[in-house]
Amino acid sequence: MKKNKITHIIGRGSFIAKNKIEVKNGKKRVAVQAKYFIIATGGRPKVYPGMDFDGKLVISSKEAMILNQPPEEMIIVGAGAIGAEFAYFYNSYGTKVTLLEMMDRVLPMEDEEVSKELEKNFIKIGIAIQTSTTVERIETLKTKVKVHTNGNKKELIKGSVALLAVGITGNTEDMGLEKIGIKIEKGAVLIDDYGRTNVQNIFAIGDVTGPPWLAHVASAQGHVVAEIIAGHPTFPVDYSNIPACTYCQPQVASLGLTEAQARDTGHDVKVGRFNFNSSGKAMAIGSTHGFVKIVFDAKHGELLGCHIIGAEATELIAELAMAKGLEATWQDLARTVHAHPTLSEAIMEAALDAFGEAIHQ
């Protein structure tokens, strides 16, 4: 920040006008005036009735990152990306993990086949999974928690600690946003495609603007806003082409439409798959679980979505994001020569499979 001549003021800021904030630090008050403002206050885990955080027995992802030692038993409420990542992480350290999800599968936002594959792998390594299960309340004792659930049957699950991973809400409070008329909906600052709020000189980026709650989305939004403020030409963030990544093992990565979403939106689809157990590179690195699944429009060969579970999935997805951004077709992917042996060959093979030209299945 020194190199770029950025002034850093420590304190809590609050709008007192559309072009002025007041920063409080103890008894000190500093008024800061500017032509433009960017709200980038992030988000925090959602709190639900009967499931309040205490930071010790009932924790959020923040505390889960800095526990002094792995707990004996951990109950994770929510099997989205955060829940899945911590389930794998603590299981690897020897914690007995129970993963609870109110929807009918883990990673419910991912393609159904990916969810089933991850669940199979998680069960294999000893993670207990209960889907279609809601948590009614969490009871804290001196050194234990009791999680009261209501799934196929009412059940009481005991553990050393409960981790809540059930969503994010934006940090919008105590900043004077209502005072200057900033629109907020469901805990998020509303913005247009260029990051503008309804107050024209004020922008917002990152988790405070709502889903997708991803660091790379915040960075992309920041680039767009900075270009606008600097008066440079720019393009809006393409929210239909955002890679979603889950950093467990096997890794999960996806973008675009799932097969079900593509069909529901009226597409006649072609689906190509390639299993990593047919990949020479996957065999060489000893990681053959998972697959690449690509969804195309049957008529025009348009790339609609891609879903990967397996080794380095979060790296492989970048090729598909580039392809989709350039409006590549199945032929573009299928005819691009991929080096052998590589994991990325699976993308080429899945594209070939979609239109019946696969060889190495």
Write down the pLDDT at residue 198: 97
Fold of 58-166: FAD/NAD(P)-binding domain (3.50.50)
pTM, two decimals, is 0.92
CATH of domain 241-354: 3.30.390.30
Write down the pLDDT at residue 310: 97
How far is 185 from 167, CA to CA, in rounded Å? 15
Average pLDDT of every residue of the chain = 95
175 CB-near residues (< 8 Å, 6+ apart): 13, 14, 15, 39, 41
The segments of the chain whose pLDDT lies below 70 read: none
228 CB-near residues (< 8 Å, 6+ apart): 194, 195, 196, 203, 234
Write down the pLDDT at residue 357: 86
Write down the pLDDT at residue 151: 77
CB–CB of 156/71 below 8 Å? no
How far is 344 from 353, CA to CA, in rounded Å? 15
Catalytic status, residue 340: yes
Fold of 12-39+170-239: FAD/NAD(P)-binding domain (3.50.50)
Write down the pLDDT at residue 21: 96
* Positions of CATH 3.30.390.30 in the chain: 241-354
Burial class (CB in 10 A: 0-12, 13-18, 19+), 265: exposed
Candidate list 223, 267, 340, 360, residue with the active-site label: 340
Distance from the first to the final alpha carbon of the chain: 52
* Positions of CATH 3.50.50.60 in the chain: 12-39+170-239, 58-166
Write down the pLDDT at residue 254: 98
Write down the pLDDT at residue 359: 80
Write down the pLDDT at residue 332: 96
Q: Which helix (H) or strand (E) holds 335?
A: helix 330-335
Write down the pLDDT at residue 39: 98
Task: Please give the single-letter amino acid code of residue 173.
Answer: E
